Structure 1
Amino acid sequence: MNESRTPSSSPSQPSLTERRKAATQLDIARAAMELFTEKGPDGTTAEEIARGAGVALRTFYRYFRNKQDAVGPLLASGGARWRELLAATEPGTPLLQALEAAAVTSLSPQDAAAEEALHGTRTLLRAAQEDPALRAVWYRVNQESEEQLLPVIADLTGPGADPLETRLTAAAATDAIRVALELWSTTDSPTSGPGSPSALAARGLRHLVG
């Protein structure tokens, strides 16, 4: 039976409750990022993160399993922006060109807040080298991003696309972005120009997806 949906139940229009939940998660994630940057994951407690976000400890654990898990929303935001740009690609654009253009735009900070967010990602990826729990969050975020990329690529390639090629493309493209950010995090390269995340991602996409 078909039932008409109200705007609040539409997938493209989150309900007020969902928006509040997302806002709380982001507040907690930002507090965790600040503390991790200042003290490192080992020197930070869940209690401190909750206090920094202005929420009760029980609220923290309602949304996140542990302190490392708390930065997941920030680590996932770049992939969400990439998929959003990719989904808005002009019809008929070659897939590799679309993937590269969206990646370069999403990894090129346009303001001070985006610049700070990218540097925050570098801090987290450096910490993840010595923190298995944080590294697991990063890998999970990338796995989820790959799965969410599948329908976007399927839409761009059309109904006749080979499912195997679609999955391989999603995996290769996601790994190209992941490796670019991981490599950049091991350097002191700036956020633009040679050696930047956008430049490394573009190179990676050409090698893997091309």
Structure 2
Amino acid sequence: MQTHRNPVNVAVVYHSGYGHTAKQAQAVAEGAAQVTGATVQLIRIEEGTEPSWKDLEQADAIIFGAPTYMGGPSAQFKAFQDATSKNVFAAGSKWKDKVAAGFTNGASRSGDKLATLIQLALFAAQHGMHWVNLGLPPANNSSTGSESELNRHGFWLGAAAQSNADQDADIVPPEADLATARHLGRRVTTLAQQLVLGRNAIDQTASE
């Protein structure tokens, strides 16, 4: 169901090593695009290149995504984080007060994916951003639970997906994890719109 009609710009910036996190990122973008008035841009981090800093500066919300490798974000995504110290942070906190959220994918059910989400949240905090949690209760935690439920892994801080190491991205992550990613995209975009609307109302009142 589409909600809200206030224009809002959302950027989904991510790295994907084998295509699984890219599939999750696409789902996040699909969820964000379901909110009427949203403009959504997928920005893939490629090794040896930098993203469009201007596009990220113009976004109202930035959703970060990285695979979890060895208990943390991929080296390629970490390189992007480090690059923001010069291109964003040192230039005067260009992302301050933007909305932020995060997602990650790994082969193991847990795989220390929480460590990656914590790193993403700290990264957003360093830039003075407003972190949005997943906003879903943990699922699949009872005898009547199901692997098809949203947030089947029981994460709070962001969206987590699990992709078997021996399956390609055309098979995994499973639909439950992609639906969880879409939920995150919708949630972040809706909250970003509310924040933009509130700021516009305050500015209008101040000018009267």
- TM bucket, shorter chain: under 0.3
Q: TM-score, normalised by structure 2?
A: 0.27
Whose helix fraction is larger, Structure 1's or Structure 2's? 1
Instruction: Determine which structure has the larger strand proportion and give its number.
Output: 2
Which structure has more RCO (C-alpha within 8 Å, separation ≥ 6)?
A: 2
Q: Normalising by the residue count of structure 1, what TM-score does the alignment of the two structures yield?
A: 0.26
